[in-house]
Amino acid sequence: MPQRGAHFSGLPDDLVAGILCLSPPREVARVRLVCKRWRALTTDHHFVRASFSMRQAGHGRHIAGFFFNHRQWSTTEYLALDPEPEAGEEGAAGDRLTPDLSFIPGTFPVDPELGILKVLGSCGGLLLLCCWPSDCPAIHYVCNPLTKKLVEIVLPTDAAFYVSLAFDPSKSQHYKVIALGGMHRIHIYSSETQSWGTPVPFDHSLGLLEGLHSMHGIFWNGSVVWIMTHSLVRFIIKEERVTDMPMPSRKKDRSCAYIGESGGHLQMIGYTKKDKLTACFDVLEMQEISRSGLFCIMLTLIK
C-alpha cells in the first residue's frame, strides 16, 4: 500500500496500468503524451487487450456515437448519440467530440467536390477507410483515430470493392483485411507480415456467396460475416473456410437488412414486406451457435 502523499511515479507499473485502463479511449490517447513510461504502458498489447476486454464486458463508457454512410452521396457522417453532457458529466464531454480524421492525406471530408472519405468498417478501435481524392483512384487505409497512425492498404487488382477489417485486440495485436476477389478467391492481408497471403479458393458451385447484398462484411467471433439474399455466410479466417450460418425460424418473406457486432455478439435486423410498410422490424442476436430474438421495434411509436 503506497504511503499517503507518495508520488504517482513511484507506483508499480501494473497498478498504474490498471488505473489508466479505466480511462475512456480519448483520455488514454492524451495520457500517452505525459511521459515515455505512460506511453509504453498504454501501447503495450496486454494493456490494449485488458482495456478492450473491459469494454466488451460493459465496464466502459456508453457508446458516444457512430459513423453513418449515406447511400445517396457515398459519404460518411459521424452522428453523436449524446452530444451534450448532462449535469455533473462535464468531464466526459471530451470523450464525445467528433473523431478527427483530417490527418488522412489527400482527403477533404468537408467538401465532397474536392474528395470523399468513407468509413468502410470499424473493429477493435481501428477504422477501415476509403478515400477518393479528386481525379485520383481510390485509396484504402487502416487507421487508429486516437493515435493518428495509419497504413495504406494496396488492394489486389481483382478485389477493389468487397473489403472488410478483422481485428480482435484481446487475442492479437495484429489485424487482417479480408477482400473478396474474382475467380472465386478470398484475399487475406496481414499487418504482421504487411503483405497479402496466397489467395484462398472457395467452391463457387455451392452458391454460398451468390446474392451478396453488402460490399462490406462484419467481423465476429473470428469470422467475417456477409449478408446474402435470405441468409448469412461466414468466412472462418483461421480455417480459411466459407460456410453458411444457422438462421432463426423465418417469417414468410423475411429479409435480412443489416448485421452488426456489439459486445462480442452478432446482431441482425430483419423485416417482412408487411413489416416494412408498417415501419416495424425485428432485432435478433447470436451468441456462438444459438440465435434468439431480442425485441420488435415499431418506428411509428418512437418520438
Name the domain boundary from 47, 62, 77. 62
Please indicate, yes or no, if residue 15 is contained in any of the structural domains. yes
Q: What angle do CA 250, 293, 169 make, to 5 degrees?
A: 115
Bridge partners of 204, per DSSP, are none
What's the structural domain count of the chain?
2
Q: Exposed, middle or buried, 91 (CB in 10 Å: 0-12/13-18/19+)?
A: exposed
CATH number of domain containing 50? 1.20.1280
Please indicate, yes or no, if residue 265 is contained in any of the structural domains. yes
Q: What is the mean pLDDT of residues 225-241?
A: 87
* Domain extent for 297: 248-303
pLDDT tens, residue by residue, 68-109: 777 655 677 777 776 555 544 544 444 555 677 777 776 544
pLDDT band at 298 (very low <50, low <70, confident <90, very high): low
Q: What is the mean pLDDT of residues 201-210?
A: 71
pLDDT tens, residue by residue, 25-59: 667 777 777 777 777 777 776 666 666 666 555 54
Give the global pTM.
0.73
Please indicate, yes or no, if residue 157 is contained in any of the structural domains. no
| Average pLDDT of every residue of the chain | 75
Amino acid identity for residue 267 in this structure: Q
Cα 83 to Cα 4, 22, 89: the distances in Å are: 38, 22, 12
pLDDT tens, residue by residue, 130-166: 887 767 778 899 998 877 889 999 998 887 678 999 9
Query: 254: how many CB neighbours lie within 10 A of its CB?
Result: 19
Please indicate, yes or no, if residue 299 is contained in any of the structural domains. yes
Name the domain boundary from 11, 33, 62. 62
CB 159 within 8 A of CB 153: no
Name the domain boundary from 62, 93, 111. 62
Please indicate, yes or no, if residue 272 is contained in any of the structural domains. yes
Please indicate, yes or no, if residue 116 is contained in any of the structural domains. no
Q: Quote helix, strand, coil % in the chain, to nearest 5.
A: 20, 35, 45
Please indicate, yes or no, if residue 167 is contained in any of the structural domains. no
Please indicate, yes or no, if residue 43 is contained in any of the structural domains. yes
